[in-house]
Amino acid sequence: MDILPNHFEYENGILHAERVSALRIAEDIGTPAYVYSSAAIAERFAALQSGLSGIDHLICYAMKANSNQAILKLLKGLGAGFDAVSGGEYSRAIAAGVPGEKIVFSGVGKSASEMKTALECGIRQFNVESEPEISLLNEVAVSLGAKAPVAIRVNPNVDAETHEKISTGKSENKFGVPIARARSIYSEAAKLPGIEITGIDIHIGSQVRSIAPFRKAFSMVADLTAVLRADGHAISRLDLGGGLGIAYNRRGETSISPEDYCRTILESVGHLDCEIEIEPGRFIVGDAGILLSTVLYVKDGSDRRFLVVDAAMNDLMRPAIYDAYHEIVPVFEPGSRRDWERVDVVGPVCETSDTFARHRLLPKFSEGDAVAFLSAGAYGSSMASEYNTRALVPEVLVKGGTHAVIRKRPSIQEIIERDIVPAWL
Ligand code: LLP
């Protein structure tokens, strides 16, 4: 099958992640299970590193895509910085040994205690998103006798041409300050004793698959840099956000190559003598992970056949929330003579939205067959929940011929014991 991402392939008829058999993982730890390839992560990271090699830069991996400690450690070892969007993510990065100077703190609703933690343990920069946030950050910094390094996120009103639920750069979106008001907001912020302006931040959306919106937004950042510098601000860093998309439908879709993306950055802002930050999440881990599952039942409805699998919307939410497409492949290589049929692939959760694919042409499956959802490394496990009291899916990281469980499946008992029944009941 030609649709497998790099570092996943059939060997002797069985799907492998690098040199480890997916069947063996499924048998060892059961399904559903996430499996990641460390070589695939390293390869994506290296593509961006080399694309930006001509310029001072830091790739701040957007942890929200996948924040497992092992993945963070792997990326830290490759030289990544990190983009955290909550005190929890910030603490995860610190726990993985990341120095505060390599963490940017983004997000539209940081609390005073989150700001305090970051200022005390070290932070590269806060990407701030509103006037009241700047004023709170100033107060917190002053109370600690500190100065908070700040980039102000501007909203350029650029259409990222992506799914409306993950588009962030339009004026109706809650993110950033309107670019038209940036000058006055920068000049007010610069007067505050607890704030140190370091740069400009932008993020127009996620799963962006055409270069034009990036080019437009980056050139607006370049123009704003000149304007703010003329106003006397020291703009030394430009955080261009994340958003670089991947091709989920691996037969039909295309996305932007990392080379084109990096070239666009260099062309748009390379002349400004700024340190460039980018915050990719999906591009680095998306195609580096699969979700292994097992067919429980082949069920015939009145007008269609359902494959009921043991993974569900709580394990991989993207199809339910965004109608997202994920390739589905058998763990046993489909031979050329294997029959194909159209099926709906559904999970066991009691909602119709628990549907991974509708009317999808797939090789014929039988009950007990292992299947893999591709491109599940980003926003898979990190968005999972225990809805329907289904245990969080375990995660496995492969490196060459070895693999390790990097998060174990909790027992149902552990889940139940988190609840507290008051004595008066
Ligand atoms: N920086 C900021 C400020 C962000 O809000 C995001 C994503 C990123 C970076 C990383 O974007 P990426 O490179 O991964 O596209 N759950 C959705 C995606 C939500 C993205 C939210 N923000 C999904 O599964 O498609």
**Measured between alpha carbons, how far is residue 294 from residues 25, 346, 410 in Å?**
12, 11, 19
Q: Which residues are catalytic?
A: 350
Q: How far is the CA of 168 from the centre of ligand 1 (A)?
A: 9
Structure tokens of 93? 């990065």
What integer pLDDT is reported at residue 165 of this predicted model? 84
Tell me the DSSP string of 107-118. -S---HHHHHHH
Q: What is the pLDDT of residue 173?
A: 87
DSSP states of 144-166 as a string? Answer: TT--EEEEEEEE------S-GGG
**What is the atom index within ligand 1 of the atom nearest the CA of 208?**
15
Residue closest via CA to ligand 1's atom 7 equals: 206
Query: Which atom of ligand 1 is found nearest the CA of 201?
Result: 3
Q: Which helix (H) or strand (E) holds 1?
A: none
Q: Which helix (H) or strand (E) holds 131?
A: helix 131-143
Amino acid at 260: D
What does each of the 425 residues of the chain score in pLDDT, given as a tens digit? Answer: 579 999 999 999 999 999 999 999 999 999 999 999 999 999 999 999 999 999 999 999 999 999 999 999 999 999 999 999 999 999 999 999 999 999 999 999 999 999 999 999 999 999 999 999 999 999 999 999 999 999 999 999 999 888 888 888 888 889 999 999 999 999 999 999 999 999 999 999 999 999 999 999 999 999 999 999 999 999 999 999 999 999 999 998 999 999 999 999 999 999 999 999 999 999 999 999 999 999 999 999 999 999 999 999 999 999 999 999 999 999 999 876 679 999 999 999 999 999 999 999 999 999 999 999 999 999 999 999 999 999 999 999 999 999 999 999 999 999 999 999 999 99
- The verdict on the CB of residue 233 being under 6 Å from ligand 1 is no
**What is the DSSP secondary structure assignment for residue 5, as one 8-state letter?**
P
How far away, in angstroms, is 42 Cα from ligand 1 center?
19
Judge contact between 100 and 84, C-beta under 8 A. Answer: no
Q: Residue 114 corresponds to which amino acid?
A: E
Report whether 171 contacts 196 (CB < 8 A).
Answer: no
- Tell me the pLDDT tens digit for each residue of 315-355: 999 999 999 999 999 999 987 667 999 999 999 999 999 99
- Atom 6 of ligand 1, nearest CA residue: 242
CB of 395 sitting under 6 A from ligand 1: no
65 close to ligand 1 (CB < 6 Angstrom): yes
Phi, psi of 298 (to 5 degrees): -105, 110
Nearest to 414 by CA among 394, 385, 389, 395: 389
Helix (H) or strand (E) holding 321: helix 318-322
213: phi then psi, degrees, rounded to nearest 5:
-60, -40
Q: Does the beta carbon of 243 lie inside 6 Å of ligand 1? A: yes
Distance 60 CA to ligand 1 centre (A): 12
Phi-psi category of 122—alpha, beta or left, where left has phi over 0 and alpha has psi -120 to 50?
Answer: left
- Cβ-in-10-Å burial (0-12, 13-18, 19+) of 301 comes to exposed
30 conformational bin, left if phi > 0, alpha if psi -120 to 50, beta if neither: left
- How far apart CA 307 and CA 294 sit, in angstroms, is 10
Q: Is the CB of 281 under 6 A from ligand 1?
A: yes
Does any ligand 1 atom lie closer than 6 A to the CB of residue 205? no
Q: From the CA of 53, how far away is ligand 1's center (Å)? A: 24
